[in-house]
Chains A and B, each alone.
Chain A
Amino acid sequence: MATTTAAVTLTSDLLSDNMSVSASTTCMKAGTTADGLDQMEYGYLDLPTGDEYDLIATTPTATKASKLYLKNHSTDETYYIAVTQNAQAIGKLYGGDWMFIPADFHDAAGDIAITASGGTNKICYALFHEGTVLVTT
């Protein structure tokens, strides 16, 4: 079984006592406890301003599991990328920000789209998924 593990540690001093949360998960195929995600895409791109782009061109179905990591590697903190899913705004990743979500590519319109602001943003992404087949030319 392929094994993909994602861990996070959150710390904050916004509360009266410091908060620290750690979590780890093994990314499994949908509805199973014994078989891990076995496909992935990994890339590092320049994202120019002016247009919205689909980050993920393929469309796994709703019955499949996916995990998407996306980081804005821009070093200018005023630069950001706006992230949408199926035209619904999710939020903005400023330079240095990352996100990790269980992306639900539930239909053909459910792709993750991104738009750069401030200048050309540099992004890194990784999609861990299952069940994608190539499209014939």
Chain B
Amino acid sequence: MATTATISISSDIASGFGGISETMTLTQAGNLVDIDSTTGFQIRKLSADSVVDLVTMANELVEPKDSVAAKIYIRNIGYKGVIDKSVGVTIGVNAEPIGKLYGGDWMVMPLTCIDADDITATPATDDTVVIEYVMFYEEA
């Protein structure tokens, strides 16, 4: 086994769209060796509409290697079983907003892991919301 991620997308927006189903094995940059480090699975409870670091690259105990094949999974899981799809949390990289995760939404994206490129979260309101995430990366 290794680290794998499978995505399945279905949609009835356009007739004839057959959907997407793809699996990737997370490997190190430029080869087929399995990725070797992770932050582990974590959750972060947010209760203010201010920006926080989900991942501070310079603070990782196992230093990530820069500009290779890191990936992160992030999901807005609501709070105490209540998932509000009308409000969201903006996920950013180095102060650049990537996009907003509404209740239940998830994302998987590559990362540079450069020290400046911290992963941030900014809730739209001060209602409590929980973010779950896990980062996979190469050890420097």
With A6-B8, A77-B32 already in contact, the answer to whether A97 and B2 are too (CB < 8 A) is no
Contact yes or no, A6 B30, CB < 8 A: no
Query: Which of B44-52, B53-61, B107-115 contacts the other chain?
Result: B107-115
- Interface of B: prevailing SS: strand
Known contacts A66-B99, A101-B99; decide if A25 and B14 are in contact (CB<8 Å). Answer: no
Chain B, 74-102, CB within 8 A of any chain A CB? 75, 84-88, 90-91, 93-94, 96-102
Known: A98-B7, A102-B101. Contact between A11 and B1, CB under 8 A? Answer: yes
Question: What interface size band does chain A fall in?
Answer: 35 or more
Is A137 interfacial (CB 8 A cutoff)? no
Residue A103 interfacial (CB < 8 Å): yes
Chain B, interface size category, equals 35 or more
A59 to B8, CA, bound (A): 26
Q: How far is the CA of A6 from the CA of B96 in the complex (A)?
A: 24
Query: Which of B26, B88, B102, B109 touches A101 (beta carbons < 8 Å)?
Result: B109
Count of A-B contacts judged by CB separation below 8 Å? 195
Is A38 on the interface with B (CB-CB < 8 A)? Answer: yes
Once the chains bind, are A99 and B108 in contact (CB under 8 Å)? yes
Cross-interface CB contact of A104 among B22, B32, B98, B134, cutoff 8 Å: B98
Cβ of A136 within 8 Å of any chain B Cβ, yes or no, is no
Given A5-B10, A21-B73, A69-B20, A12–B91 Cβ distance below 8 Å? no
Closest CB of chain A to B137's CB: distance in Å?
10
> In the complex, A39→B27 CA distance in Å?
33
Question: A133 at interface (Cβ–Cβ under 8 A)?
Answer: no
User: Interface readout for A26-56 with B: 1 if CB under 8 Å, 0 if not?
Assistant: 1110111100011110100000000000000
Write the chain A residue with the least CB distance to B4.
A11
A57 CB–B CB distance under 8 Å: no
How far is it, in angstroms, between the C-alpha of A120 and the C-alpha of B137 when the chains are bound?
Answer: 26
Which B positions have Cβ atoms within 8 angstroms of A?
A: 1-14, 17, 20, 22, 24-27, 29-32, 35-38, 40-41, 67-71, 73, 75, 84-88, 90-91, 93-94, 96-102, 104-112, 114, 117, 134, 136
**A-B complex: 8 closest residue pairs judged by Cβ atoms:** A91-B110, A102-B99, A88-B96, A4-B11, A12-B3, A104-B99, A13-B1, A25-B104
Could you name 15 residue pairs across A and B whose Cβ atoms are closer than 8 Å?
Answer: A2-B12, A4-B11, A5-B10, A12-B1, A12-B3, A12-B136, A14-B35, A14-B36, A19-B41, A26-B85, A33-B84, A40-B13, A69-B9, A98-B24, A102-B99
